[in-house]
């Protein structure tokens, strides 16, 4: 809950053992410094209620091999981001994204240890979601019911034990659910519902 807007570019350089970065309620924070890339010991990042405008950090987050939890809630600055990719992260276990009203595509493909996508709320423009090759075990009901979601990919998700069929209001135009270990990859034909 500080009034910080940004940090010096080398702010994180001397913190190689930092494990949790919690910037909660820093309403004026608009960017993180490049030195965030040096935080190789981070296990948790929470950035709720900030004004971070761009996430050119996705590649940096991919290099954080101990990161287990990433929370982005009510980040009012996501106006420039249309696509978020955090693919193939080796240790990420939970992901939370709330109030990113301009995001159209989100991919967590290949995050094999990802067990929980707690919620994806207020993502009214989300058109594509790829949770293929993850360790997700339950899909929250709000995900397939997102109003503009046209493509939902769950390919190669053998740990998925619960899909919210009972709360389903609509199916995306393209819905692929494949619980085999050898998911065949992304299917591109429109208006498809495929389950294996």
Non-local CB neighbours of 146 within 8 Å, separated by 6+ positions: 120, 123, 124, 126, 129
High-pLDDT (> 90) share of the chain, %: 30
Phi, psi of 7 (to 5 degrees): -120, 160
CB atoms within 10 A of CB 126: 25
For residue 66, give Cα distances in angstroms to 11, 41, 62: 20, 6, 10
Residue 102 has pLDDT above 80, yes or no: no
Flag whether pLDDT at 159 surpasses 90. yes
- Using pLDDT thresholds of 50, 70 and 90, give the confidence band for residue 21: very high
pLDDT band at 183 (very low <50, low <70, confident <90, very high): very low
Label residue 102 exposed, middle or buried (CB < 10 Å: 0-12, 13-18, 19+).
Answer: middle
Confidence of residue 54 (pLDDT cuts 50, 70, 90): low
- What confidence category does residue 196 fall into, taking pLDDT thresholds of 50, 70 and 90? low
User: Is the pLDDT at 83 greater than 70, yes or no?
Assistant: yes
Q: What is the pLDDT of residue 130?
A: 96
């Amino acid at each position: 809950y500080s009034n910080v807007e940004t940090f010096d570019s080398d702010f994180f350089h001397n913190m190689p053992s930092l494990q949790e970065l919690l910037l909660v309620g820093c309403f004026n924070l608009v960017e993180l410094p490049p030195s965030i890339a040096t935080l190789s010991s981070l296990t948790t990042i929470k950035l709720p209620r900030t004004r971070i405008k761009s996430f050119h950090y996705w590649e940096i987050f991919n290099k954080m091999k101990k990161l287990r939890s990433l929370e982005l809630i009510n980040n009012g600055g996501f106006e420039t981001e249309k696509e978020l990719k955090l693919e193939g992260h080796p240790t990420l276990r939970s992901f939370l994204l709330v109030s990113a009203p301009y995001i159209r595509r989100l991919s967590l493909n290949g995050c094999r240890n990802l067990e929980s996508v707690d919620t994806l709320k207020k993502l009214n423009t989300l058109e594509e979601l790829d949770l293929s090759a993850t360790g997700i075990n339950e899909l929250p009901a709000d995900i397939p019911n997102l109003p503009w979601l046209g493509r939902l990919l769950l390919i190669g998700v053998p740990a998925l034990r619960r899909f919210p069929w009972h709360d389903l209001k609509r199916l995306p135009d393209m819905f692929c659910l494949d619980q085999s270990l050898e998911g065949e990859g992304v299917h591109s034909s429109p208006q498809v519902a495929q389950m294996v």
